[in-house]
């Protein structure tokens, strides 16, 4: 695979603060964004504390987790996106894992996302797409579906990454490549590099980072070509073993509780810190983090199964009380059950003046300015007690973690 040189990040250098080299990883940059968000905070204790850390030496933090790298500005799951995340101090980096038709593990957010994350529709591999490109017509949006499971690894390697987006009004495959949110950019897409899971292990290790791979739910029926779900879960672990990575440096993740239970039983060293990603908002009708009667199980039952880490989206962990952000009942019950909490995803919502959207849905009334990124982060860290935060731009979380001594 082609690795980017240390110069690749230099395009950002004029906007970045001075760097400080680390013995076990790259130089760490905060850049201008944390200060920009701090400036948006109202006067008070939090703003004063964060401002007091403006001159601190940046350091890597395991509290700061790169979500697919740093996809606010870089194509997700690329070498360059993860270099950017590491250079913003993310101590843990993520490879979402799926598989190709020849059963090789690769880093993709979903098995069926190639039409929005790569140039496959413009390539000779467009005819492998399970749903060919269909142009927008009247009220019907443009569509396509292209899967890694329809490609060999060699074919996958020929694709060019792009920002995850699509233009639903497009009438041509070329126009379909657009649709990037106004607060993202394609400025850093040129020359970016896809990765296999094994290559991500080597890259992250070279950056001095730890690992949090997510086993993605297959789009194909399992078993696939004789490859069972358990084979899939085991192959993920085997690639860490083959690379000599200690289990203590790996946080396996899955939305499928059965995957987590498999790791706990079959690979207890790795299973000891496997992360159950919570999607009760999709699977449980009427789910309300303030009402335990709407939850599939009492949270203590997950702990009884041997689950030690649980990871819901941001909004599940918080509520508002007299206009202030406070821990939700769900968060309180998770802590009472002895579960360690990781959450996702900060910096994935763009400007916050209009309520923040999906990730802020339980605190809309308190989400009126971009400084709320830090207000929410402070409640998550100090009141909820999360042990890690995924971010699309890890510098914000790294700055907070360093300032607060996390």
pLDDT for residue 125 is more than 60: yes
Tokens in use for 324?
């202030």
**For residue 51, what are the CA distances in angstroms to 34, 44, 373, 394, 401?**
10, 11, 15, 18, 14
Beta bridge partners of 22: 25
pLDDT digits (tens, 9 = 90+) for 347-386: 999 999 999 999 999 999 999 999 999 999 999 999 999 9
Q: Quote the pLDDT of residue 39.
A: 98
Average per-residue pLDDT for the chain: 94
CB count in 10 Å sphere of residue 293: 6
Instruction: Report, as an integer, the average pLDDT of 224-253.
Output: 98
pLDDT(253) > 60: yes
pTM of this structure: 0.94
- What's the rounded mean pLDDT across residues 73-98? 98
8 Å CB contact between 71 and 93:
no
User: What percent of the chain is predicted at pLDDT more than 90?
Assistant: 94
Torsion sign across C-alpha atoms 25, 95, 168, 281: negative
Q: Residue 388 — very low, low, confident or very high, per pLDDT cuts 50/70/90?
A: very high
List the beta bridge partners of residue 326: 319
Per-residue pLDDT tens digits for 12-27: 332 333 333 445 689 9
Q: What does the alpha-carbon distance between residue 255 and residue 32 come to, in Å, rounded to a whole number?
A: 34
Average pLDDT over residues 29-39: 97
pLDDT band at 3 (very low <50, low <70, confident <90, very high): very low
The pLDDT, as a whole number, for residue 154 is 98
CA distance 194 to 96: 12
Question: What would the pLDDT profile of 262-316 be if each residue is shown by its tens digit?
Answer: 999 999 999 999 999 999 999 999 999 999 999 999 999 999 999 999 999 999 9
- Looking at the chain, the domain(s) classified CATH 3.20.20.190 span 41-95+195-404
pLDDT at residue 136 greater than cutoff 80:
yes
Mean pLDDT on 396-403: 98
Q: By C-alpha distance, which of 50, 94, 319, 345 is closest to 195?
A: 94
Say what the pLDDT of residue 2 is: 35
What is the pLDDT at residue 180? 97
Q: Is 324 helix (H, G, I), strand (E, B) or coil?
A: strand
184-217 pLDDT per residue, tens: 999 999 999 999 999 999 999 999 999 999 999 9
Superfamily classification of domain 41-95+195-404: Phosphatidylinositol (PI) phosphodiesterase (3.20.20.190)
Q: Per-residue pLDDT for 401 more than 50? A: yes
The pLDDT of residue 25 is: 81
CA atoms of 70 and 395, how far apart (whole Å)? 9
Using alpha carbons, list the distances in angstroms from residue 114 to 11, 145, 311, 359. Answer: 27, 7, 26, 24
């Amino acid at each position: 695979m082609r690795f980017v040189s240390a110069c690749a990040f230099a395009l950002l250098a004029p906007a970045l603060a001075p760097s400080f080299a680390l013995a076990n990883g790259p130089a760490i940059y905060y850049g201008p964004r944390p200060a920009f968000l701090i400036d948006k905070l109202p006067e008070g204790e939090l703003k004063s504390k964060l401002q007091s850390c403006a001159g601190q030496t940046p350091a890597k933090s395991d509290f700061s987790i790169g979500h697919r790298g740093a996809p606010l500005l870089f194509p997700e799951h690329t070498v360059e996106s993860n270099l950017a995340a590491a250079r913003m101090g993310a101590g843990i980096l993520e490879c979402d894992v799926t598989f190709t038709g020849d059963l090789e593990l690769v880093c993709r957010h979903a098995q069926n996302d190639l039409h929005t994350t790569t140039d496959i529709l413009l390539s000779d591999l467009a005819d492998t797409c399970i749903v060919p490109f269909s142009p927008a017509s009247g009220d019907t949006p443009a569509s396509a579906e292209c899967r890694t499971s329809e490609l060999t690894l060699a074919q996958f390697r020929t694709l060019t990454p792009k920002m995850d987006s699509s233009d639903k009004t497009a009438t041509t495959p070329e126009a379909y490549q657009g649709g990037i949110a106004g607060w993202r950019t394609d400025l850093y897409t040129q020359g970016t590099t896809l990765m296999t899971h094994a290559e991500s292990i080597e890259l992250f290790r070279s950056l001095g980072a730890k690992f949090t791979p997510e086993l993605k739910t297959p789009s194909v029926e399992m078993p696939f070509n004789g490859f069972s779900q358990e084979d899939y879960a085991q192959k993920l672990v085997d690639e860490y073993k083959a690379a000599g990575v200690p289990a203590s440096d790996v946080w396996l993740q899955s939305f499928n509780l059965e995957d987590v239970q498999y790791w706990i039983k079959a690979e207890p060293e790795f299973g000891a810190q496997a992360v159950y990603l919570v999607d009760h908002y999709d699977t449980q009708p009427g789910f309300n983090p303030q009402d335990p009667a709407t939850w599939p199980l009492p949270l203590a039952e997950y702990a009884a199964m041997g689950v030690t880490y649980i990871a819901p989206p941001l909004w599940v962990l918080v509520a508002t009380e007299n206009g202030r952000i406070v821990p939700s009942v769900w968060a309180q019950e998770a802590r009472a059950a002895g579960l360690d909490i990781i959450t996702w995803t900060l910096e994935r919502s763009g400007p916050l003046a209009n309520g923040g959207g999906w990730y802020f849905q339980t605190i809309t009334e308190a989400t009126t300015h971009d400084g709320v990124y830090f207000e929410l982060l402070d409640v998550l860290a100090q009141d909820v007690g999360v042990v890690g935060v995924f971010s699309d731009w890890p510098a914000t979380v790294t700055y907070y973690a360093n300032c607060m001594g996390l």
